[in-house]
Amino acid sequence: MNAGMTNYYYVVAFAIVGGVFGGLLLSVARMLRPRKISKTKLEAYECGMEPFEGNWTQYSARFYVFALVFLIFDVEIAFLYPWGTVFRDFGVTSLIEMFVFIGVLLLGLVYAWKKGVLKWL
């Protein structure tokens, strides 16, 4: 089992422990807590008011654009890290390349900003 694998083995182990621990807590709580179901308790909590019309609301497309900009800068981060580790020995050329990369994406951000998409209602 070379080094790489054990790392993953540990991560899986931690995940399993986390899951088991959480399950343990819940099952213990299940045993201890009372279980009296009443109609009113099961309704959606509307700060005391009766829950009216479905739980579905309509949002403006603004949310979606935020997610997209997040995605694009996520990709940028994904590319920044390897670059960060290696750009020293490639000198100025890789510096310029990354600045172009960041510049283009910054352009996108500025465009979004100017179009007023980044305002949150």
Minimum CB separation of residue 5 from other proteins in Å reads: 7
120 binds other proteins (CB under 8 A): yes
Minimum CB separation of residue 109 from other proteins in Å reads: 7
Buried b (16+ CB within 10 A) or exposed e, 9-39: eeeeeeeeeeeeeeeeeeeeeeeeeeeeeee
Instruction: Please report, as residue ranges, which positions from 55 to 84 form the binding site for other proteins (by CB under 8 A).
Output: 55-84
Instruction: Please report, as residue ranges, which positions from 16 to 45 form the binding site for other proteins (by CB under 8 A).
Output: 16-19, 21-22, 25-26, 28-30, 32-37, 41-45
Tell me the C-alpha distance between 72 and 74, whole Å: 5
